[in-house]
A and B are shown apart, each in its own frame.
Chain A
Amino acid sequence: MLLVTCVAALRAQAPAQRPLVVTAENLMAKDRANSEAVVPGDVLRYRLHFTNTNSGDVRGVVFTNPVPTGLRYVDGSAGADREDVLVEYSADGGKTYSTRPMVSEVVAGKRVQKPASPQQYTHVRWTVRGSIASGASVTAEFRAELPAAHPDSSSHRAP
């Protein structure tokens, strides 16, 4: 609550530094005329940049990012710029997290547990194990794809 209040105050006094900034980069748009738009088939890289705007160290920093509606998490794309960050995923809407989430499935009439596919991931969570000094920052990131349609094999699309 303190931090939120601070952010609100800093917003009024530009240039203010916000504790959390989220950005998106379209990795597929470099050679396209209209790079402002994301189209089906494109891959976005989201970056979550946290800065400790407190006067002292903070610890127990945890980023949580639901995979945006309409996008699919790209397998193995989550990471951070620090070594002491644990990345976990949820496949149940954020109820539980694991480095390898499981889902249940009925096979031959029996309910079994199997690893969720990355496309089933609903959330990504980064847990920073160490502390972050005042004024320091940490960046987490992941990539997600905007699924393309599946045209029939006779469709012709210029390269």
Chain B
Amino acid sequence: MLQRLITRLGITLGVAVLLAATAAVPVNAQTPEGTVIHNVATVSFTDANSNAYATVSASVDVTVGFVAGLDVIASAATVGPASPSANDTLFFPVNNIGNGIDSVTISQVISVAGIITVTGYRVGATTYASLAALNTALAGSGIAQGASITVKVVYSVTAGTGGLSTVYTLTATSRRNSSVSDNDATTVTPNLTAAVAVTPDGGQNVQRLPSNGTNYTFTFTVTNNATGPDGFDLLASHPGTAITIVSVNGTAGDSARILALASGASQSIAVVYSIGNVAAGTVDTLVLKARSLASPATSDNGFADMSVVRPSLTIVKVAFRDDKTTPVGAGTVVPGEFIQYRITVTNAGSAVATTVQVTDALPPELTFSSTTADAAGWTLSNVGNNVTGDLSGNLAIAASRFFWVRASVN
């Protein structure tokens, strides 16, 4: 049985009769391709009468074939070049851990496009403009067992990509056995230098009436001046007492967050606020701070200077003779005489007055006769001696309007 098996041996690679023996030694390294493993066996024996005979030796040789082995080691797991930048480098030693000379084909994968651009590959002192050119050169360049080559990948970084990441993977494939390959990767994350600007920066003197239920909106502009996309915490505040923050960028309250604003991009941020019922002339400032998410120490403030305005009316009533030109002054009137009262209303405040209404109650010594407006806009009416004047439209700041009330002395 055993003999039959032996006769079917797949690789009986030569038998020789030798008298020498070879001592085995500890094995530490992979046996090189082409090595002949020489096995020598001996047998000794005696005959039935215990006569000794010379030992007999035989040997068999086996030749070691090729096994491919590659080990690619990225020199850095992560790198952080500037954005933008050029002539940055990644190093990938490619070690031949097979047991014979081999050559390799290099391939690459860049996980996220648009962050880096490979501009060349350097092996030794030669730079190749493309993978194809590199591989053409490597095809004719054998790497001895245990030796290595270093592929230096030259690349540039796109502007505005700070903080983004892409994984560069380099794969080396054996040319003698294409099923054997190895790869390693470096994560490229360009540095993000945070910078932000919020405008305007004050000086507007935005005049607002007390809200009385009406909210106001001020729009700031947040510009990301970082070297890459960034998000921002938006914090609205005011140092004075007039302003109450209602919402920021649509979010109720005094804060909000925006994410992934591209480098160089701007976004309008509406801050809704109200003005309290405070005195005219009260000043306050609406402040919007944008704070970098990537670098919280980096922030900028925008300012909107506010002042509270109100209309303020004064009224003057002057008595004239019936000719409307002669003031009664300190003179006397007699029963049956008509008096023309000129009632003048003036806006002495800091805001336009609307829905102005003047009422005048004539004393009982007089009897209402008629009214006359200075111009269109007045709606004049009376109920007995009680006269009312309603002014349509606005009464501008510092503007005056008047009307006449004619009454007879009883």
Residues of A within 8 A of B (CB): 1-4, 7, 18-26, 29-30, 34-41, 44, 46-50, 52, 54, 56-72, 81, 93-94, 119-123, 131-132, 137, 139, 141, 146-149, 151-152, 154-158
Kindly provide the distance from the CB of B127 to the nearest chain A CB, expressed in whole angstroms: 27
Task: Return chain A residues, CB-CB under 8 Å to B99.
Answer: 39-40, 149
5 contacts between A and B (CB under 8 A): A26-B10, A48-B58, A66-B24, A68-B38, A154-B184
Contact of B56 among A20, A65, A94, A120 (CB under 8 A): A20
A36 to B59 alpha-carbon distance, docked (Å):
17
Which residues on the A side are within 8 Å of B54 (C-beta)? 1-4
Once the chains are docked, how many angstroms separate the CA of A102 from the CA of B27? 19
A-B contacts besides A23-B15, A48-B41, 18 pairs, CB < 8 Å:
A18-B15, A20-B58, A22-B39, A22-B60, A24-B12, A25-B10, A25-B11, A26-B10, A36-B63, A40-B67, A64-B43, A65-B42, A68-B37, A70-B31, A119-B26, A146-B37, A154-B184, A155-B71
Q: Check: B323 CB closer than 8 A to any chain A CB.
A: no
Nearest B residue to A62, CB-CB = B44
| A22 CB, min distance to chain B CBs, angstroms | 4
Partner of A61, one of B21, B39, B45, B69: B45
A-B contact count (CB 8 A): 217
Chain B 44-81 per-residue mask, 1 if CB under 8 angstroms from chain A, else 0: 11111010011011111011111101111100000000
Q: Write the nearest CB–CB distance from B69 to chain A, whole angstroms.
A: 6
Which residues in A have their C-beta under 8 angstroms from that of B254?
A: none
Let me know if B17 and A1 touch, CB within 8 A: no
Query: B53, A147: Cβ atoms under 8 Å?
Result: no
A50 to B53, Cβ gap below 8 A? no
CB-CB < 8 A to A68: which residues of B? Answer: 22, 24, 37-39
Interface size on B, residues (CB 8 A): 61
User: Smallest Cβ distance from B180 to chain A, in angstroms?
Assistant: 5
- Contact string, B128-166, partner A, CB cutoff 8 A, digits 1/0? 000000000000000000000000000000000000000
Our pick among A57, A63, A81 for the contact of B42 (Cβ within 8 Å) is A63
Given A56-B48, A60-B45, A81-B2, A149-B30 contact (CB < 8 Å): yes
Partner of B23, one of A21, A26, A93: A93
| Chain B: CB-nearest residue to A32 | B65
B179 at the A interface (CB under 8 A) = yes
Question: In the bound complex, how far is the Cα of B8 from the Cα of A26, in angstroms?
Answer: 12
Alpha-carbon distance between A54 and B63 when the two chains are bound, in angstroms: 34
- In the bound complex, residues from chain A placing their C-beta under 8 Å from that of B23 are 66, 69, 93-94, 122
Q: Determine how close the nearest CB of chain A comes to the CB of B52; give it in whole angstroms.
A: 8
Question: Are B69 and A149 in contact, with the CB atoms below 8 A?
Answer: yes
A71 to B179, CA, bound (A): 26
* Contact (Cβ within 8 A) B73 A152: yes
Is the C-beta of B40 less than 8 angstroms from some C-beta in chain A? yes
Which of A50, A57, A66, A158 lies in contact with B43, CB distance below 8 A?
A: A50
B148 CB, nearest partner CB in chain A, Å: 13
B375 at the interface (CB under 8 A from A): no
State A46–B39 Cα separation when bound (angstroms): 9
- A157 is contacted by which of B39, B50, B66, B179 (Cβ under 8 Å)? B179
- B47 x A54 contact (CB < 8 A): yes
CB atoms of B45 and A59 under 8 A apart: yes
Rounded to whole angstroms, the CA-CA distance of A130 and B27 in the bound complex is 36
Beta-carbon contact of A7 and B56 below 8 Å: yes
Q: Are A39 and B67 in contact (CB under 8 A)?
A: yes
> Is B97 in contact with chain A by the CB < 8 A criterion?
yes
The answer on a CB contact under 8 Å between A66 and B40 is yes
Question: Are B6 and A49 closer than 8 Å at their CB atoms?
Answer: yes
B9's closest neighbor in chain A, by CB?
Answer: A25
Of B59, B65, B71, which is in contact with the most chain A CB atoms at under 10 Å from its CB? B65
| Across-interface contacts of A39 in B (CB, < 8 A) | 64-67, 99
CA distance A93 to B21 in the complex (A): 11
B3 at interface by CB-CB < 8 Å:
yes
List residues of chain A with CB within 8 A of the CB of B37. 38, 44, 68-71, 146
Q: Closest CB-CB distance, A10 to chain B, in whole Å? A: 11
Q: Is the CB of A23 within 8 A of B43?
A: no
Determine whether B247 belongs to the interface, using a CB cutoff of 8 Å to chain A. no
CA distance A60 to B37 in the complex (A): 29
Q: How far apart are the CA atoms of A80 and B175 in the complex, in Å?
A: 43
Cα–Cα distance between A149 and B44 once the two chains are bound (Å): 37
Contact of A151 among B11, B64, B69 (CB under 8 A): B69
Which one, B15, B21, B73, contacts A22 given CB within 8 A?
B15
Distance between Cα atoms of A105 and B13 in the complex (Å): 39
The residues of B that contact A63 with a CB separation of less than 8 Å are: 41-43
Say whether B56 contacts A38, CB under 8 Å.
no
- Whether, in the assembled complex, B25 has its beta carbon less than 8 Å from a beta carbon of chain A, the answer is yes
What's the nearest-Cβ distance from chain A to residue B20, in Å?
10
Q: Is the Cβ of B47 less than 8 Å from the Cβ of A58? A: yes
Residues on B with C-beta less than 8 A from A30 are 10
Which A residue sits closest to B25, measured CB to CB? A69
Contact in complex: B43, A62 (CB < 8 Å)? yes
A157 touches B65 (CB 8 A): no
Q: How far, in Å, is B72 (CB) from chain A's closest CB?
A: 8
Of A22, A34, A120, which contacts B65 at CB under 8 A?
Answer: A34
B115 to chain A: closest CB distance in Å?
23
